[in-house]
Each structure stands twice: as C-alpha cells, then as structure tokens.
Amino acid sequence: MELQPILDKYFQELQHASPTLKEIQKHIIQKLQMGESSLSLTSIFRLLKKLGYQRKQLKIVPDKRNDKNTRFQRKQKVEDFIDALTDGKNFVFIAEIEFSNIINAIYGYYRKGTRPILRQTQRGPNY
C-alpha cells in the first residue's frame, strides 16, 4: 500500500497540529494494521524526508490579533492611557512575561514549501 496518500490525508486532518514521529508511527501502524516493531522511528523519519516532509518550527499566530474590533479596542485603551497621563495620574509599571498555554510541540513535520502556522485561540484576559 502506498504511504504518501495516507500521510497526506493524516496531515490534512490534523490542520496545523504538530505530530511527533511516535504519533505518525502509531497512525501508520493503525492504518496498515502491522506490528509496532516492524516500523522504526528512523524509518519514518527517512520516509518523511523522501516524501518531501521537513521538520519545521511552528509560528504561533493569535487568532484575532488584527481584526477590526480588536484594533479598535487597542486604540481606545491607548487613548484612555494618554488621557490619564495628561491628567497627571501616577502609574506603576510591572514587567510581565508572556506564557503560552498551548501544549503542542514547537516543531512539526510539514511539506517542503509550506509554512507551518498554529492559530492560538486561547489567550489571557489582557489580550
């Protein structure tokens, strides 16, 4: 059985998720109904490379970052902040570190010529 259609369909169904070699191995074994020892991770890596898949770093893009409503809200917050500064109010600035609550791997396997993008939908209350 040809593996290219199985892998292409698998990656299409994932929709920008980033499977590990172990997850790809499990999927192929399940589809072909074969024993786990008959297909090593090294073989899968070589197969992916031969079929035109590369391991690439994911780019995380916020889902609603630049929609019309979000831009308007940002503009309003900036205007409110400028108004507060001109009124002579005192401010305390606290440095915050951004944490991502996405559990997916940072790297994934994608076809050559494609850009892996992960849409981040869950953000904190400040975003």
The per-residue DSSP string of 68-109 comes to: HHHHHHHHHHHHHHHHHHHTT---------------S-SEEE
> Which structural domain, as residue segments, surrounds residue 50?
3-120
The reply to whether 29 falls in a domain is yes
pLDDT in tens, the chain (127 residues): 577 888 888 887 876 567 888 888 888 888 888 876 778 889 888 888 888 888 887 776 666 767 788 889 989 999 998 888 888 888 777 776 665 555 555 777 777 877 766 666 555 554 4
The reply to whether 52 falls in a domain is yes
Q: How many domains does the chain fold into?
A: 1
Give the predicted TM-score (pTM) of the model. Answer: 0.53
The reply to whether 125 falls in a domain is no
Which residues, other chains included, contact 79 with Cβ-Cβ below 8 Å and sequence gap of 6+?
A: none
CA distance 90 to 8: 57
